[in-house]
Amino acid sequence: MRRIILSLLLGAPAITIAGGFQLNVQGLKAIAMGGAFTGVASDATTVFFNPAGMSNLHGHNFTFGVNIIDPHVSLQTPETANIDQTSGIGTPFHFYYSGQINEKLNFGFLVNNQFGSSSSFEDNWQGRNIIQNISLKTFMFQPTISYKIHDKISVGAGFVYALGSFSTEKAVPLASGTTDEGKAHLEGNGDGVGFNIGVYSQFLTLGDETKNTKFAIGLDYRSKMPVDLSNGEATFTNIPVSLQGTFPAKTGFVSKITLPSVFTVGLSIKHTIAEKWSLEFAYDMNLTGWTSYDTLAFDFKNNDTPDSKQIQDWDNVLTHRLGLDFTYLEKYSVRIGLYQDNTPMKDNLISPHLPGVTQVATQQG
């Protein structure tokens, strides 16, 4: 049996720019259900959401998706009414595969962008000394296995290899007789490792073959991943001659970005009337460990260049996600999702690097 489902999701708000720089666009059904998927595990996206859920899947399952994100953000300061943030169109993609090796064992693999952010402002905007442009891209590769230890309980684990690249630009507040301000351009890339483990249990089934209600619970923990930018390169331009020893045309830097851990508890209840319709309710609660993103520090190789340290001091964030799926004749589905994603930024540390606005959003698919 081969099924190709081409779907279009409409009316989704800019979910990817919710809290921090996490990209919550991992699979269509999951997006439509507000990202509540840890306890659902009905397609290959579970490799990401909950590796243990692979035990639910039979045969070979592939999911591939590209999301086009075109965020528009405007900022306001006491001095400027509207500052448009010109961010490029982002195209995070995901590929998930889950294959059944035998009755108990599944093997899976994923490639996706779990974290990423890009924003840029007019070069001469008010906050140019904080940021002019910033871009973070990550690629995750995760070989995964799941094992059905009991009819009702399965476990899964994946090893995550992450590649990250980072670049940023900001104005350096140094003027000369002929220049108003210098510019710093920093870029680097690096890699890191982590893991993704989960438990999935369809612990209760009420009813019979033709009419039943299934209860499932999932737990998933994706570890934090420190990505070392050990070979960063900084270039300084438009620096007054007398300070070019401090801000040389070119120098190296070392930095580290810690991608946060995500712990999720998910619950799903699915009521099915065979060959007619099904209604599934899902709820996820994520705890994202943004405190790992405590500082953004750049240690320059040139000794005279003052090392830069930006205290982020973000809070861990609890996110609630609710999803509802109504499927008719196993063909037509209507889904609705609702989530509340709080910003990890403390009020007094709101920075224009990344969007930081608490979001309550709905999605319909």
Partner 1 sequence: MKKLNIYLFIGVTFLFSSCSKTEFEEYEKTDGTANFSNYISVGNSFTQGLQDGGLHNEFGQQDNSYPAIIAKQMGTSFLQPLVSGDGSGYFHLQYVNGEIEVIKAFDIDITTNHPLAINYDPSFENWVSNTVKYNNLGVGGMNVRNVTSVGVNQGTDKPLFHVLFGSSAPGVLAWNGVTGEPISPFGRFLEWGSFGSEVEYIDNVIASDATFFTNWLGINDLMSWTKEGGDDVGGSAVLTDINEFRTKYDTVLDAFQTMGAQGVCATVHDIMETPYFTTITLDVLGKDIWIKEGADTTVIRKATDEDLILLTAKDVLGDGIGLIQSDPLPHTVVLDKDEVLIAKNYLNSINSEIRNSAAAHGYAIVDMHAFMHKLTSGLNFDGVAYNTEYIAGGAYSLDGLHPNGRGYAMIANEFIRTINANFESSLQSVSIGSYRGITFP
Residue 346's SS3 state is coil
Cβ-contact 336, 330 below 8 angstroms: no
How far, in Å, CA of 97 to CA of 104, rounded?
17
The stretch near partner 1 (CB under 8 A) out of 68-76, 256-264, 275-283, 326-334 is: 68-76
Q: State in angstroms the smallest separation of the CB of 170 from partner 1.
A: 8
Residue 48's SS3 state is helix
Q: State in angstroms the smallest separation of the CB of 134 from partner 1.
A: 13
Comparison of 128 and 148: residue with beta carbon closer to partner 1: 128
What's the token pair of residue 257?
Answer: 């970005």
The answer to whether 329 contacts partner 1 (rule: CB under 8 A) is no
Q: Which residues 12-31 are close enough to bind partner 1 by CB under 8 A?
A: 12-17, 25, 27-28, 31
Residues 6 or more apart in contact with residue 354 via CB below 8 angstroms:
20, 21, 117, 119, 134, 345
How buried is 6 (Cβ within 10 angstroms: 0-12 exposed, 13-18 middle, 19+ buried)? exposed
Comparison of 14 and 217: residue with beta carbon closer to partner 1: 14
Q: Which of 36, 41, 44, 322 binds partner 1 (CB under 8 A)?
A: 44
Cβ-contact 288, 344 below 8 angstroms: yes
The answer to whether 190 contacts partner 1 (rule: CB under 8 A) is no
Beta bridge partners of 318: 287
The answer to whether 111 contacts partner 1 (rule: CB under 8 A) is no
The answer to whether 177 contacts partner 1 (rule: CB under 8 A) is yes
| 180: Cα within 13 Å, side-chain hemisphere | 5
The answer to whether 249 contacts partner 1 (rule: CB under 8 A) is no
The answer to whether 295 contacts partner 1 (rule: CB under 8 A) is no
The answer to whether 76 contacts partner 1 (rule: CB under 8 A) is yes
The stretch near partner 1 (CB under 8 A) out of 121-129, 228-236, 269-277, 337-345 is: 121-129
Comparison of 66 and 273: residue with beta carbon closer to partner 1: 66
Residue 290's SS3 state is helix
| 30: enclosing H helix or E strand | helix 28-32
Q: Which of 22, 46, 50, 63 binds partner 1 (CB under 8 A)?
A: 63
Q: Tokens 């205290």 identify what position?
A: 311
Question: Mask of contacts with partner 1, 124-163, x by CB under 8 A?
Answer: --xxxxxx--------------------------------
The stretch near partner 1 (CB under 8 A) out of 146-154, 156-164, 237-245, 259-267 is: 237-245
Beta bridge partners of 311: 295
How far, in Å, CA of 275 to CA of 329, rounded?
6
Comparison of 31 and 324: residue with beta carbon closer to partner 1: 31
Q: Is the Cα dihedral 33, 316, 217, 49 positive or negative?
A: positive
Summarize as ranges the residues that interact with partner 1 (CB under 8 A): 1-9, 12-17, 25, 27-28, 31, 43-44, 57-74, 76-82, 126-131, 170, 173-177, 180, 240-243, 245
